[in-house]
Structure 1
Amino acid sequence: MKIRWLGHAAFELEAKKKVIIDPFLTGNPSAPVKAENVVADLIVVTHGHGDHLGDAVEIAKRNDCPVLCIHELSRYLSKKGVEAVGMNIGGTARVKGVSVTMVQALHSADVEEGEEIISTGDACGVIVEMDGKRVYHAGDTDVFLDMQLIGELHKPDVMLVPIGDWYTMGIKGAVKALELVKPKYAIPMHYNTFPVIEKNPEDFKKSVAESGLDTEVVILKPGEEFTF
């Protein structure tokens, strides 16, 4: 599987299909691509905040592809003319040959539409499986002890983990999350997009090494790829 970081929490996973997660590109100063240039077979959104839902509607319509998300957000997206596939935490959906399991995240969730704030269910993390490879996108979250169950049940090869602090866990929490999940690889995300979440990913990598964990930290620049 090939993983390309599109900046912030946006990723492109490519194996037998191309899956885009949290496509916040327009207005994202770190994004190396524009929404109109993204090709997708499936879009997965962890929650409705603008820096995660992002360009999902535009990309879905242009590629004629479904958006998989939590049930309440799927109802909102359906009203926008998108093929939305709703599911919920604990469930596994199989769409276009891709298996997506929705797991817990500790975060808030809503959509801003003009001056209106619309509730869109809970925030979540997702585990995407293609060709026998599993990637755990933790979404926006703090560390929580049940991450250990996620690791035991799903055994992800790669964990995409936020380190930016302020809106998510910081480096200390992210290191603990790797201790609980035990992925083979970890790619830090959700940092340096804006001044409030500035972090040095090398500090994260150093902290993981000092903790004695077997997880290999892979630091990507926006636009760079990692294949495993």
Structure 2
Amino acid sequence: MTVRHDGITVEWLGYATLRFAGEDTVVYTDPGRYGVLTGEWEPDTDGVGHPPARDYRPEDADVVCLTHVHHYDPDGVERVANEDTTLVAFEAIEEGVEDRELPPLDSLPYEVVTVGDKDSLTVDDVPIWTVPAYNEENGPHTRPDGTPFHPEGFGCGFVVDVEGKRVLYPGDTDALGPHQNVEVSVFCPPIGPRFTMDRHEAAALAAAMEPELVVPVHYNTFSTLETDSRGFAADVAEAGVPVALDER
């Protein structure tokens, strides 16, 4: 299913992969991982809501945004990018590529722009802002010793202006206070319960932000991310915020 909203489309392709498109602009976030773009993904549990895997290679991206090294998949980037695509990548990704046996960003055949977590820029006529993304120490989304899965400075989220509509994918993060002040038309929160804000925290954040539409992502890709997406939708709708589940 493709979600249509006021002249743009938002499509969740699985895991953290989002496609935002207007009439002349196509932007992706975090393409790939876990076989969601190669046709190899299979759910751990039958009946969970998630886009089906498919062999997906449109090579239509104007911009690809990469939030952190966990979501950096060179094959996924290749499937959506072309020779004119620009990669906008969080600056700390390069520090983690060797440990994860990934190619350096500057070895890819695309223009690469690196960003911090509080930047603003325009790439190929697409205005982009970054926002902090992290788990708070000793918070609910940490290891048993209290260390975050995503410490501050490890990644970022992206606000992308797609032909006049601002879309926020906050990355792998807790629901942080500054997020409430981000004005967007479409909010795409992660709602898997372990490594990011859970569905209850995401619903409360959506209610505080009051976007025009909420499209949740980053859930049910594997067992650790399983959650009740319909419960999330009910909570968001109860707060008076429209919500769409991009599941098939």
Are the counterparts in 2 of residues 57 and 77 from structure 1 also a CA contact under 8 Å?
Answer: no
* Structure 1 pair 79–60 and aligned structure 2 pair: CA distance change class (3 A): farther
Q: Which runs of 5+ in 2 are unaligned?
A: 1-7, 42-50, 96-103, 137-152
Distance 1:95 1:144, change over 3 A: same
* Identical-pair percentage: 29
Deviation of 1:36 after TM superposition, in Å, equals: 3.1
Contact 2:59–2:80 under 8 Å retained in 1: no
Q: Is the 8 A contact 1:25 1:33 kept in 2?
A: no
Distance 1:182 1:4 in 2: 20
Choose the corresponding residue for 1:17, options 22, 25, 29: 25
Preserved CA contact (<8 Å) 2:64 2:77: no
The structure richer in strand per residue is: 1
When normalised by structure 1's length, the TM-score is 0.80
* 1:58 corresponds to: 78
The alignment's TM-score, normalised by the length of structure 2, stands at 0.74
- Aligned counterpart, 1:218: 244
Residue 90 of structure 1 aligns with which residue? 118
Gap change, CA 1:60 and 1:66, over 3 Å in 2: farther
1:158 aligns with 2:216: no
For structure 1, which runs of at least 5 residues remain unmatched after alignment?
A: 109-120, 223-228
Distance 1:130 1:162, change over 3 A: same
The 2-side partners of 1:141 and 1:219 are apart by 20
* Deviation, structure 1 residue 56: 4.6
Per-residue Cα deviation, 1:164-216 (whole angstroms, up to 9, x for no partner):
11111111111121133221110111111101111121110112234xx2311
Partner of 2:128: 100
Could you tell me how far 1:46 is from its partner in structure 2? Answer: 1.1
Corresponding position: 1:129 with 2:137:
no
Q: What is the number of residues matched between the two proteins?
A: 203
Aligned CA RMSD, in angstroms, stands at 2.4
Cα distance change, pair 67–33 in 1 and its aligned pair in 2 (3 A): farther
2:236 aligned partner: 208
Counterpart contact for 1:157–1:183, Cα < 8 Å:
yes
Name which of 40, 61, 77 aligns with 2:61: 40
Cα pair 2:167 2:186 within 8 Å, conserved: yes
Q: Distance in 2 between matches of 1:74 and 1:102?
A: 17
* Counterpart amino acid of residue 221 in structure 1: E
- Give distance in 2, aligned partners of 1:61 and 1:142: 29
Query: Which amino acid in 2 is paired with 1:8?
Result: Y
Q: Aligned partners of 1:32 and 1:63: how far apart in 2?
A: 25
- Superposition pairs for residues 134-153 of structure 1, below 5 Å? 134-150=166-182
Alpha-carbon deviation of 1:65? Answer: 1.3
Task: Provide closer, same or farther for how the CA distance between residues 107 and 83 of structure 1 changes in structure 2, counting only shifts above 3 A.
Answer: farther
* Cα separation, 2, equivalents of 1:106 and 1:25: 20
For residue 201 of structure 1, what is the amino acid of its counterpart? S
Partner of 1:199: 227
